[in-house]
């Protein structure tokens, strides 16, 4: 009897593990879903952090680091950006990399979270406020 109970628990555990893995891959493998959930539950905190920053004299948009990943010296950073005129909506519609007002260098991708709030993905090894290959420091000289 003990052996059957053990086998039953082992089978139930295996089914639960397989089910959890099967559900987590499509859910968490899609960063859009993860970012949407993160924004839904934590947007108030993120908005407070961004809006607490003073306005930039150079016209740069208010922003904080939103996400990042990398390995072996190839780091990618995504910023949460407040854009009060929604001019970045043009970048979202075009889905093309480019240089956009208020951002110091060319970026790979812009996505809209809600009105006035965007994520801006920089190219690998480019960071807001640093002199790199694309000069994201905001300084006009290279």
pLDDT digits (tens, 9 = 90+) for 61-106: 999 999 888 888 788 899 999 999 999 999 999 999 999 999 999 9
Most confident of 10-19, 20-29, 74-83, 125-134: 74-83
The pLDDT tens digits of the residues spanning 30-67 come to: 556 777 788 889 889 999 999 999 988 888 999 999 98
88 CB-contact burial (10 Å; exposed 0-12 / middle 13-18 / buried 19+):
buried
Q: Which residues contact 51 (CB under 8 A, 6 or more apart)?
A: 62, 82
More confident residue, 102 or 6: 102
Its pTM stands at 0.73
Enumerate the domain spans of the chain.
Answer: 2-121
What is the per-residue DSSP string for 55-123?
A: PPTT-PPEEEEEEEEEETTEEEEEEEEE-TT-TTHHHHHHT--B--TTSSS-BSEEEEEETTEEEEEPP
């Amino acid at each position: 009897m003990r052996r059957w109970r053990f086998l039953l628990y082992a089978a139930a555990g295996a089914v639960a593990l397989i089910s959890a893995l099967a559900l987590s891959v499509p859910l968490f493998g899609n960063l859009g879903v993860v970012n949407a959930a993160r924004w839904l539950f934590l947007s108030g905190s993120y908005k407070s952090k961004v809006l607490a920053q003073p306005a930039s004299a150079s016209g740069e948009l208010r922003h904080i680091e939103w996400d990042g990943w990398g390995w072996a010296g190839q780091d990618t950073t995504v910023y949460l950006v407040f854009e009060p005129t929604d001019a970045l909506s043009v970048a979202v519609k075009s889905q093309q990399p480019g240089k956009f007002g208020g951002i110091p260098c060319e970026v790979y991708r812009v996505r809209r979270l809600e009105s006035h709030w965007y994520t801006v993905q920089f190219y690998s090894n480019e960071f807001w406020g640093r002199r790199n290959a694309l000069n994201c420091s905001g300084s006009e000289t290279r």
